[in-house]
Amino acid sequence: HLKAVDRVEAVREAFRHAWKGYKAFAWGHDELKPISKTHGEWFGLGLTLIDALDTMWILGLKDEFAEARKWVETELFFSKNVDVNLFESTIRILGGLLSTYHLTGDTLFLDKAVNIGSRLMPAFKTPSKIPYSDVNIGKGTAHPPRWTTDSTVAEVTSIQLEFRELSRLTKDPQYQVLYFYYCINIISLANLISANQMLSTMHVYLSRLLEDYLQAIEGVRKNLLRQTSPSKLTFVGELSNGRLNPKMDHLVCFLPGTLALGAHNGLPADHMELALQLMETCHQMYAQMETGLSPEICRNCVQTPADRHNLLRPETVESLFYMYRFTKDSKYRDWGWDILGGYTSIGNVRDPLNPAPRDKMESFFLGETLKYLFLLFSDDNELISLDKYVFNTEAHPLPICVRTSVNVNDLM
């Protein structure tokens, strides 16, 4: 095994390599297509560049950061007639700009954050204040997704940090009001909420958020946890119409880190025990594949051909980062080292000779995956201290501005 410092430098080199390709073939565009050496567009807002800003700063890549900052200053404008997804724009663009502002103190990034934040506000012009999924940042109009009139719970409740922080920094309460509307007893609702559903049908209990979290984890434990046979790997299935579907998405691999963070802050010790079990499962999703990369979905830890793709997702290395920070067990670093790679999505994790490259490097590879790997291998625990920062859904660290020394159990 390489020394920790060598692993840190390996992540820097991986970033430099990916950035070199992005700069050469996709500069200012949303995504690099590394096989065809072209670019892909989603919103047309330089998504990869913005997502990678704070990663470059954390990795100490000053030259790359400087050229990206120049693009933000001279080329990034939001007054364009384009529909953007509220969730993705908030966690990637707004979150990325706010995080970079906090890390650098450069008001350019705060000014850009305020601009995009204000342009996302029309999404909340619904009777319930539960936002529409899509907003035209140029026209100031919003609408539900084309396929339904509903908004997805996971999306509309994952943008609290950014809008709350925007209100704190601007001293403008309009964004903070949105945060209040999100602090609802969401656990009891169905997976989809009608954007026209009246607020009176919901229960806004700020004091119950901790209780709801604990109930949610207990619900997972009672209703969704299963073990594979014969390997006895614990996994989280999906409940549909009262029946358990024994499938676990790679996306679920954020959960060990979440459980560990809760246990670190005083939640029950058995949360950490579950985190350890699920972390092992997520590791095996990589280790048992011929390419060493996890499939998108495991069904009883077996994949159908449609599930065998890998998008360079960050969830497993995110959890490895938390697990190492809290346990100092070097195996988590070793598991992360085994995962480090890139730079395109692939279609078949079971075939190392023909992994079927998909010719797409998602922005979160630079924004999240490499950032968490760098932090995993870094010996500096003050580098984005978990007592001072909280990561948003896109791995953009924001400061913990209000925190007491009271143990969370005292709040229950």
Write out the binding residues for Ca(2+): 393
**Domain residue limits at 281:** 1-42+208-379
The 10s digit of each residue's pLDDT in 188-218 is 444 455 555 434 335 444 557 788 899 999 9
**Is the residue at 249 inside a domain?**
yes
Residue 317 has pLDDT above 50, yes or no: yes
Return the pLDDT at 407: 43
**Is the residue at 195 inside a domain?**
no
**Is the residue at 349 inside a domain?**
yes
CATH number at residue 263: 1.50.10.10
The 10s digit of each residue's pLDDT in 243-302 is 999 999 999 999 999 999 999 999 999 999 999 999 999 999 999 999 999 999 998 656
Domain count, the chain: 1
Return the pLDDT at 183: 46
Known catalytic residue at 296: yes
The 10s digit of each residue's pLDDT in 354-405 is 999 999 999 999 999 999 999 999 988 789 999 999 999 999 999 997 543 3
Write out the binding residues: 393
Return the pLDDT at 319: 99
**Is the residue at 313 inside a domain?**
yes
Q: Which of 165, 296, 362, 368 is catalytic?
A: 296
Return the pLDDT at 357: 97
- Helix (H), strand (E), coil (C) string for the chain: CCCHHHHHHHHHHHHHHHHHHHHHHCCCCCEEECCCCEEECCCCCCHHHHHHHHHHHHHCCHHHHHHHHHHHHHHCCCCCCCEEEHHHHHHHHHHHHHHHHHHHCCHHHHHHHHHHHHHHHHHHCCCCCCCCCEEECCCCEEECCCCCCEEEHHHHCCCHHHHHHHHHHHCCHHHHHHHHHHCCCHHHCCCEEECCCCHHHCCCCHHHHHHHHHHHHHHHHHHCEEECCCCCCEEECEEECCEEECEEEHHHHHHHHHHHHHHHCCCCHHHHHHHHHHHHHHHHHHHCCCCCCCCCEEECCECCHHHCCECCCCHHHHHHHHHHHHHCCCHHHHHHHHHCCCCCCECCCCCCCCCCECCCECHHHHHHHHHHHHHHHCCCCCCCCCCCEEECCCCCEEECCCCCCCCHHHHC
**Is the residue at 129 inside a domain?**
no
**Is the residue at 312 inside a domain?**
yes
